[in-house]
Amino acid sequence: MARKWENKSYNSLNYFLRNKFGEKVFKISLDAGFTCPNRDGKVGKGGCIFCSARGSGDFTGTAKSLTHQFEEVKSIMEKKWKSGKYIGYFQAYTNTYAPAAELKKKYEEILNIDDVVGIAIATRPDCLDDDVLEVLHEISKKKYLWVELGLQTIHEDTAKLINRGHNLESFIDGVKKLRKLNIDVVAHIIYGLPYETREMMMETIDFVANSPIQGIKLHLLHVMKGTQLENVFYEKGFDLLEMDQYINIIVDSVERLPENIVIHRLTGDSPRDLLIGPMWSLKKWEVLNAIDKEFDLRGSYQGKNYSENTNIKSMFY
């Protein structure tokens, strides 16, 4: 019989948070006003080529202060859900790229809001200095914390093409630093990156499956207006994934992940007015329902095809 996590064939974030906190937990996206070393010249200029002008924070709150952003989004959620707890998600740009004292002040502003049970921090693996790690460790001992690291792909040629600005060794080192402090790590992967084959995508998911992470976000590549990726798409050209291709890649990937890894995301969002393609990705619920249907058609579930790789595991220890 196929394994189920309530009504899903995979260990979803909603399932994980409900079990951890005993009730519905909402994630509220925030823009703390940081920048990125891949934009300001420390590592590079322009950022990753797929990244929008808002540094992947296109759906964060619009008010200036963090508290106002939080309350703005919370008030919208309360119209649908009358009760629950919250996680503040520091999403836009690189959220450990500032002096440790500034980071601590901003994190604590959200942590001190009623019904906030923790925070999530999106960052780069090359922005985890010792003083920053000390702040994160202090928070993790008081409230729940996970840190998101952008990997996207294990293939260095692709990483250079997308101007990621760090290598695979940097990701490994970042995971090791965080896990040494018992901080949960969530890895980001993007499918459909220019010129990557299905085999390359499976090599990336197998690497992540054997790393000591606690969660994963699986994204579809979006080509958005105003990005460097738009120029590559129109000038050099590359194929965008079709919906059926993406669904099969996602189900194949989740089958290869161990059951303990929490699935935070199976596809991504893009503002309609910025999206060049794939346009089918705007039908998010249709995509998610099709993924569920594919699991059922296969009689499959997360972990069904997980294969332990001791060579990969040894890189982290």
- pLDDT by residue (tens digit) across 218-230? 999 999 999 999 9
Averaged pLDDT, 65-85: 89
Residue 302's alpha-carbon distances to 12, 90, 106, 267, in angstroms, are: 10, 28, 36, 16
Query: What is the residue whose two structure tokens read 């924070």?
Result: 57
Can you tell me the distance from the alpha carbon of 245 to that of 146, in angstroms, rounded to the nearest whole number?
Answer: 30
Q: DSSP state, 27?
A: E
Please report where in the chains the tokens 């999106």 appear, as a residue. 122
Strands 184-191 and 144-152, how do they pair?
parallel
Query: pTM of the prediction?
Result: 0.93
Residues 6+ apart with CB under 8 A from 122: 56, 89, 90, 91, 92, 94, 95, 148, 150
Q: How do residues 10-40 score in pLDDT, each as one tens digit? A: 999 999 999 999 999 999 999 999 998 878 7
Domains, in order of start, for the chain: 13-315 (3.80.30.30)
Please list the residues that pair with 132 across neighbouring strands: none
pLDDT per position as a tens digit, 177-199: 999 999 999 999 999 999 999 99
Q: What is the mean pLDDT of residues 95-119?
A: 97
pLDDT at 54 over 60: no
| Inter-residue contact 243 to 197 (CB < 8 Å) | no
Q: Render pLDDT for 292-303 as a digit per residue (tens, 0 to 9).
A: 999 999 999 999
- Report how far apart, in Å, the C-alpha atoms of 79 and of each of 72, 74, 75 are: 12, 9, 7
Short-list 210, 276, 292, CA closest to 10: 292
Site of tokens 């999530």: 120
CA pair distance 265, 42, nearest whole angstrom: 30
